Chains A and B, each alone.
Chain A
Amino acid sequence: MQGRGYKRKQFLYSGLREPYRLIMPTSSSPPLVQIFEAHKDYALGRRTVHALRGLTLEIPRGGFVVMQGPSGSGKTTLLNLIGCIDHPTSGRVLVAGQDTSLLSDAELSGFRARKLGFVFQNFNLIPVLSASENIEYPLRLIGVPLAEARKRAKAMLEEMNLREEADQRPSELSGGQCQRVAIGRALVTQPDLVIADEPTANLDSATGKMIINIMHEMRDRLGTTFLISTHDPEVAVLAEQRWNLRDGILIDP
């Protein structure tokens, strides 16, 4: 927790507003996510909603990106494109070097299972599974044998400080505990990128902060890239790279 994270915090608090440019040159590997001129239109009755209007951006490996923007600005839409659960109307989305438009639905499913993790606003845990089974679930999806999956889920629960809650169902857990299970579930497959759409919106601010801290810490420990959207300015404090979305375009923060 100390070390890099601490320094970065200091670095952020120091008032430098654009860590993006500072980090980029030091990263030698190609960016994890690249988006070129992405548009996304929705048909809403006879009207067309332009949710995204030509976005071009990159996320470096190991980045901790926070996206802010008012309701309806296109945050979820953008996360869906990067999360390979939706396609842009035009433009290209590359995740881990893979053009997502070239993959079939089944291939995309496999791609998401191996490369991506998701954390949702309302947790979306499977209610009939215990905390540890929820964490096992994505491992079973990528074919990890049961015993091995159990072991890794147990380790992840300890990581999330949820050893006591291993056998409890989501309905028996608090919001913060649920979100920790969800983070564990997203991370257990060791994905390249975790996408979290407003992960703190259903939590009180102290818990929200704790959740963001955990994510930050996990980034430091595992090197997983995080992409988080939020309304909450306090959450954005930890960001190394901050995007501001307005009406489907990125604006300077």
Chain B
Amino acid sequence: MNTWSLALRNVWRNTRRTSVTMMAIALSCAGLMLFGGYISWAHLASEVHTVMISGHLQLFKEGFLEKGSGNPAGYAISNYDELRDLLLLDPVLASKLDLVTGQLIVQGIVNNSAKKTSATFAGFGCFASDIERIIRWNPYDLTEARDLAANSHLFAAKPELDDTDPEGITLGEGLARVLEVKPDELKAKERPSVELMSLPPAGGLPNMVSGTVRQTSIRALEQIDNHLVVMPIKLANELVFPGEPLHVTSLQILLKRTADIPAVQQRIAELNASHQLGIEQRTCTELNPNNVRSLGMMDMFFVFAFCIVSVVLVFTIYNTMMMGIVERTREIGAIRAMGVTRGGIVTMFVQEGIVIGLIGGTLGVALGLFAAWCINHAMILYTPPYVNVQAKLEVFCARPPTIIIASFLSCFFIALIASFFPARRASRMGIAEALRH
């Protein structure tokens, strides 16, 4: 007979009450695990989403971010190949880089002469295969939006660009509407052709190139959807720098690990200084501040939920312990008379709290893992902020495993604290009064 097995037996004296209390602990623990697991998923999904939009890091010519929006090509980097090689061959960076690619942002007027329609456009020139790799970056094995049946209509059957299709471009759906490019025209053998016009950055007469519309694709922000032209970077270069080597408005860098961002940033800053590159760099989170902010908000929700759960749980356990103590007043008096010290009484009831916490917490972990499994297999879809695709609700309770450990320990310590105060009260009862009870 040791004190722990006594505690275990005492805990089960009132089976119903103990079960309810343990269930409360288990549900709290599972709830924290699920909420924590969802937030963990949200952090990973947000990371993947921001990287998908902008790579891990982007390098711009100094001044581009401040003043480049009116004349992006004016702030183009003219030595793209040189810069790219510098990064890829750098001994410090080589092992950390996954991909370095360029983007050329152009703007001007797009004209559909067949329909006599025109509109201003924002052109996004890029390397088809590189951009495909960036938008497919998924190191955490998240369920990709494009793989969900519910999103199939949002993703074109073929990629927006193709390296073997130097004139093929993709229009935002809003822009296609303005230009009266009809969906059935896209299916025809002869693709509709549009003319893109832009003023050269150095001034002079506008240049013009023509592109053929591969397809249209929808973008979440109307602003973008109404003006977007995705085009091969060489076509964009021809539009603003005809006959010149490839220019880019930014270099996009994809890393093997997001955690390497600071190290890579530091090395690039060193290279920038030593080679007088005249560039500035931005991380994906700096370029997409809203994603970070909404994560911060979710973290706050979690803190609130945690506080509510803790308080409710403290009162539940306190109440259970207090009821047990009142029922056992005479027994407490008797064992005190037999020589159990005040500390002994505190220990006894705290041990009962620990037993309740351990069993409840363990049940909670099992319950949480099971519920997470169910949720992850249930295909629950919803639309997260800043995207127009549906996402699958996923909870990552075990990624990282600290979520499980922290939920378990929280419930355990709550049980410990919540049983300490009743235990202390029990220990302070007068023995004679307790026996008279």
Contact = CB atoms under 8 A, between A and B. Distances in A.
Interface of A is mostly: helix
Contacts of B430: 86
B343 A106 contact: yes
Nearest to B12: A128
B180 interface: no
A122 B334 CA distance: 10
Given A85-B435, A124-B330, A124-B331, A109 B341 contact: yes
Interface residues of A, number: 32
A124 B10 contact: no
Given A76-B436, A85-B431, A86-B431, A136 B1 contact: yes
Contacts of A76: 432, 436
B13 interface: yes
Given A136-B1, A137-B1, A126 B335 contact: yes
B339 A110 contact: yes
Interface of B is mostly: helix
Interface in A87-127: 105-106, 109-114, 116-118, 120, 122, 124, 126-127
Interface residues of B, number: 25
Interface stretch (A138-146, A200-208, A219-227): A138-146
B432 A118 contact: no
B311 interface: no
Interface string A205-223: 0000000000000000000
B56 interface: no
Contacts of B340: 109, 113, 141
B6 interface: yes
Nearest to B427: A105
A120 to B, nearest CB: 6
Contacts of A110: 339, 341
B337 interface: yes
A141 B338 contact: yes
Given A85-B435, A86-B431, A138 B342 contact: no
Contacts of B187: none
Interface string B316-341: 00000000000000110111111111
Contact of B338 (A113, A129, A146): A113
A116 B336 CA distance: 12
Contact of A138 (B10, B338, B432, B436): B338
Contact of A122 (B10, B330, B335): B330
Interface string B423-435: 0000000111001
Nearest to A81: B432
A30 B163 CA distance: 111
Interface in A57-77: 76
Given A124-B435, A127-B13, 15 more contacts: A80-B435, A85-B336, A85-B337, A85-B431, A86-B430, A105-B342, A106-B343, A112-B339, A120-B435, A127-B331, A137-B338, A141-B339, A141-B340, A141-B344, A142-B339
